[in-house]
């Protein structure tokens, strides 16, 4: 608010771009020959313009948690605040909640379905909508996301995409018709964070975005991921065609590993804002800094212990109930997070007297194996704490440290581990609730990782997805199922700390105004005072 936009554009030395993005007209997608433009051998005879001297680009830096995995927001392995916020800035979505993104779509509506199709939705993509390499956003991107989320283990919101029977495109890829085999009341939740299919179609979905995002259709693009230096560089997407393009050219996301580093970086002005996983003294230390305000914030994300009902793991509910009874969620939360403040332990579904004999008999034959991804420090530590709690009770147990993609695609379905620690989105909607009942045989594990399938699972899933059952009723059904079968144990909710220093004019001057964090970056300006 103190920095004027005109001053920023003229004298804050914007390089290679003006105050608004100025994309050229996007090329036309050739439906019958995807590679027609790539195969062209024509060369230009126009003399290359003389290079102008490079100018300093407007740049700000903020502190964030280290990037622990890849940047694919559709994988449970990448469920984190950092990945979620980067994807909001970089990847296009059909809807944001109930609001259609008019930069991406001209229209989206349910239309009459022909015989044999339960439901049909038609999307019309906005003509100027394009990826940062100039390729138009098209129906191919919708088709790519549907096919890969439906067929990949360990993804988010699989139940919604598995309700789709076909995705068809017409009019040069601009009109997308989606047919459903199961009615989906909240179809607006689909096709968020579309991916550039033309660059990823030949890559493995689990690893395609492991070191970056090759093209953007948002206000920023991922320029570089330097894990060695702990810096992710976001550049303004100068091909962004929509309203309100980003004001600042470059945003550096610098890894902050602990409170001491966060304090030092804010004190020295290396960063103007910090969004970090807190430690015991984070708020106290940040509160002593002159000109810095800090506050805790709870995010809709939860660390969970999923218990496997697969043959060879813990197929009997008595085994799962006994194991869960040994998990003191408050103790696990304290010891794995390293703090006792700003902590919200989960509610264990098991209480009262429990028969531990089934678990002891099983552990006598083979140790209890709790898996966790080694890139997730909190999850791995939680696995060790749980194994220690079991060992204290004389239960033979061990930690299996393996990438989550391997755990969900191999170790869990083959009964080679008994439980797994993951971060789960706790947003309550029909798709997330239906995922607990999305357990048909021969399909990859996603949503519910236990592998347990109730007798009425298919009907429950259809009723929840269609809206025949209210969200409140579906939530109660899901909770009752977990209480009865002990499929997962909530360990603790994610609590973060935001700290606002100097150098950035953003959504407001109060730390409470910064609740959305990095997502508000397009409106940021440099504070020149």
Query: pLDDT tens digits for 245-294?
Result: 999 999 999 999 999 999 999 999 999 999 999 999 999 999 999 999 99
363, 369 Cβ separation under 8 angstroms: no
Look at residues 208, 240, 255 and tell me which one is the last residue of a structural domain. Answer: 208
The rounded distance, in Å, linking the Cα atoms of 298 and 81 is 11
Residue 76 token pair:
């449970």
Mean pLDDT to the nearest integer, 152-167: 97
User: Residue 339 belongs to a domain with what CATH number?
Assistant: 3.10.105.10
The rounded distance, in Å, linking the Cα atoms of 511 and 133 is 36
- What is the reported pLDDT for 18? 38
CA 332 to chain CA mean position, Å: 24
SS3 helix, strand, coil % of the chain, rounded to 5?
Answer: 30, 20, 50
Both 344 and 438 in a single domain? yes
Both 368 and 472 in a single domain? yes
Buried b / exposed e along 129-145 (16+ C-beta atoms within 10 A) = bbbbeebbbbbbbbbbb
User: Would the pLDDT of 7 be above 80?
Assistant: no
Which long-range contacts (C-beta less than 8 Å, at least 24 apart) are formed by 384-389? 384/336, 385/331, 385/332, 385/335, 385/336, 386/305, 386/326, 386/327, 386/332, 386/419, 389/326, 389/327, 389/328, 389/331, 389/332
Residue 437 token pair:
């009942």
**Range in 14-18, 66-70, 377-381 the model is least confident about:** 14-18
| Nearest CA-CA partner of 252 in 495, 464, 59, 384 | 59
Mean pLDDT to the nearest integer, 200-219: 96
User: Residue 187 belongs to a domain with what CATH number?
Assistant: 3.90.76.10
- What is the reported pLDDT for 26? 44
The rounded distance, in Å, linking the Cα atoms of 349 and 344 is 16
pLDDT-derived band at 6, boundaries 50, 70, 90: very low
Both 202 and 233 in a single domain? no
The rounded distance, in Å, linking the Cα atoms of 65 and 282 is 14
pLDDT-derived band at 10, boundaries 50, 70, 90: very low
Query: In the chain, pLDDT over 70 holds for what percent of residues?
Result: 89
Alpha helices, H only, 367-496: 377-392, 404-406, 430-434, 457-466, 471-485
Backbone φ and ψ of 198, nearest 5°: -65, -20
Query: In the chain, pLDDT over 90 holds for what percent of residues?
Result: 87
User: Residue 248 belongs to a domain with what CATH number?
Assistant: 3.40.190.10
**Domain annotation covers residue 20:** no
Region at 116 (left for phi over 0; alpha for psi -120 to 50; beta for the rest): left
Angle in degrees, CA 257, 214, 425, rounded to 5: 55
**Domain annotation covers residue 49:** no
Torsion angle of alpha carbons 199, 202, 205, 207, nearest 10°?
-80
SS (H, E, C) 214-265: CCCCCCEEEEEEECCCCEEEEEECCCCCCCCCCCCCEEEEEECCCHHHHHHH
Task: Say what angle helices 329-337 and 377-392 make with each other, to 10 degrees.
Answer: 130
β-bridge mates for residue 108, sequence order:
123
**CB atoms < 10 A from the CB of 175, how many?**
17
The pTM for the full model equals: 0.89
Both 238 and 282 in a single domain? yes
Alpha helices, H only, 154-234: 158-162, 197-200
Both 321 and 422 in a single domain? yes
Angle in degrees, CA 231, 2, 55, rounded to 5: 50
Angle in degrees, CA 232, 235, 240, rounded to 5: 135
Name the average pLDDT for the chain: 91
**CA end-to-end span of the chain:** 11
**CB atoms < 10 A from the CB of 519, how many?**
15
Q: How far is CA 193 from CA 68, 84, 146, 454, in A?
A: 19, 10, 12, 31
**Domain annotation covers residue 22:** no
Look at residues 165, 183, 208 and tell me which one is the last residue of a structural domain. Answer: 208
User: Would the pLDDT of 37 be above 80?
Assistant: no
Both 245 and 351 in a single domain? no
User: Would the pLDDT of 19 be above 90?
Assistant: no
**CB atoms < 10 A from the CB of 502, how many?**
14
**Domain annotation covers residue 520:** yes
**Domain annotation covers residue 79:** yes
What is the DSSP code string of 391-412?
HHTT--EEEEE--HHHIIIIIT
Both 228 and 96 in a single domain? no
Both 65 and 192 in a single domain? no
The rounded distance, in Å, linking the Cα atoms of 434 and 431 is 5
Containing domain of residue 100, as a range? 92-208
pLDDT-derived band at 54, boundaries 50, 70, 90: low
User: Would the pLDDT of 193 be above 80?
Assistant: yes
Both 168 and 274 in a single domain? no
What is the DSSP code string of 69-85?
S-S-TTBGGG-SHHHHH
217, 199 Cβ separation under 8 angstroms: no
User: Would the pLDDT of 28 be above 70?
Assistant: no
- By residue count, the chain amounts to 529
The rounded distance, in Å, linking the Cα atoms of 349 and 37 is 57
Both 71 and 153 in a single domain? no
User: Would the pLDDT of 30 be above 70?
Assistant: no
E strand residue ranges, 271-315:
273-276, 293-307
User: Would the pLDDT of 195 be above 90?
Assistant: yes
Q: How many domains, in total, are found in the chain?
A: 3
- What is the reported pLDDT for 55? 63
Both 268 and 369 in a single domain? no
**Domain annotation covers residue 35:** no
Both 333 and 475 in a single domain? yes
The rounded distance, in Å, linking the Cα atoms of 170 and 205 is 25
User: Would the pLDDT of 120 be above 70?
Assistant: yes
**Domain annotation covers residue 410:** yes
Mean pLDDT to the nearest integer, 147-172: 97
412, 451 Cβ separation under 8 angstroms: yes
Mean pLDDT to the nearest integer, 315-333: 98
Residue 253 token pair:
């996301």
Look at residues 172, 187, 208 and tell me which one is the last residue of a structural domain. Answer: 208
């Amino acid at each position: 608010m103190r920095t004027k936009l005109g001053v920023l554009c003229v004298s804050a030395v914007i390089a290679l771009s003006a105050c608004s993005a100025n994309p050229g007209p996007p090329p036309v997608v050739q439906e019958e020959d995807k590679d027609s433009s790539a195969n062209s051998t024509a060369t230009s005879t126009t003399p290359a313009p003389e290079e102008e001297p490079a100018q300093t680009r407007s740049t700000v830096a903020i502190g964030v948690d280290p990037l622990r995995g890849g940047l694919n927001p559709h994988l449970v392995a990448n469920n984190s605040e950092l990945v979620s916020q980067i994807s909001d800035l970089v990847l296009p979505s059909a809807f944001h909640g109930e609001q259609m993104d008019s930069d991406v779509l001209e229209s989206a509506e349910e239309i009459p379905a022909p015989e044999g199709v339960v439901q049909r939705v038609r999307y019309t993509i906005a003509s100027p909508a394009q990826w940062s390499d100039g390729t138009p956003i098209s129906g191919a991107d919708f088709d790519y996301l549907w096919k890969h989320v439906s067929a990949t283990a360990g993804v988010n919101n699989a139940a919604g995409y598995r309700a789709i029977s076909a995705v068809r495109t017409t009019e040069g890829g601009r009109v997308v018709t989606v047919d459903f085999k199961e009615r989906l009341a909240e179809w607006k939740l689909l096709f968020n964070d579309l991916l550039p299919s033309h660059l990823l179609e030949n890559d493995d979905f689990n690893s395609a975005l492991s070191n970056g995002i090759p093209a953007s259709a948002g206000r920023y693009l991922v320029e570089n991921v330097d894990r060695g230096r702990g810096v992710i560089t976001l550049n303004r997407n100068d091909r962004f065609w929509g309203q309100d393009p980003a004001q600042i050219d470059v945003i550096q996301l610098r890894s902050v590993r602990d409170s001491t580093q966060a304090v030092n970086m804010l004190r020295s002005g290396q960063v103007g804002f910090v969004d970090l996983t807190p430690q015991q003294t984070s708020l106290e230390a940040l509160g002593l800094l002159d000109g810095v305000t800090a506050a805790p914030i709870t995010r809709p994300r939860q660390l969970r212990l999923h218990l496997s009902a697969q043959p060879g793991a813990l197929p009997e509910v008595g085994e799962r109930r006994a194991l869960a009874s040994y998990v003191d969620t408050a103790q696990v939360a304290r010891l794995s997070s390293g703090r006792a403040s700003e902590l919200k332990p989960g509610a264990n579904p098991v209480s009262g007297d429990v028969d531990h004999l089934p678990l002891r008999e099983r552990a006598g034959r083979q140790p209890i194996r709790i898996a966790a991804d080694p890139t997730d420090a909190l999850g791995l530590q939680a696995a060790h704490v749980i194994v220690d709690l079991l060992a204290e009770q004389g239960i033979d147990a061990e930690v299996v440290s393996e990438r989550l993609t391997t755990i969900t695609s191999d170790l869990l379905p083959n009964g080679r581990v008994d439980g797994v620690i993951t971060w789960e989105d706790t947003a309550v909607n029909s798709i997330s609730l239906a995922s607990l009942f999305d357990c048909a045989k021969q399909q990859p594990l996603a949503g519910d990782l236990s592998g347990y399938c109730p007798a009425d699972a298919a009907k429950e899933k259809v009723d929840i997805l269609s809206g025949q059952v209210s969200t409140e009723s579906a939530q109660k059904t899901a909770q009752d199922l977990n209480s009865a079968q002990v499929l997962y144990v909530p360990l603790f909710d994610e609590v973060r700390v935001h700290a606002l220093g100097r150098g950035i004019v953003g959504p407001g001057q109060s730390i409470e105004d910064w609740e959305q964090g990095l997502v508000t970056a397009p409106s940021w300006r440099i504070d020149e005072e």
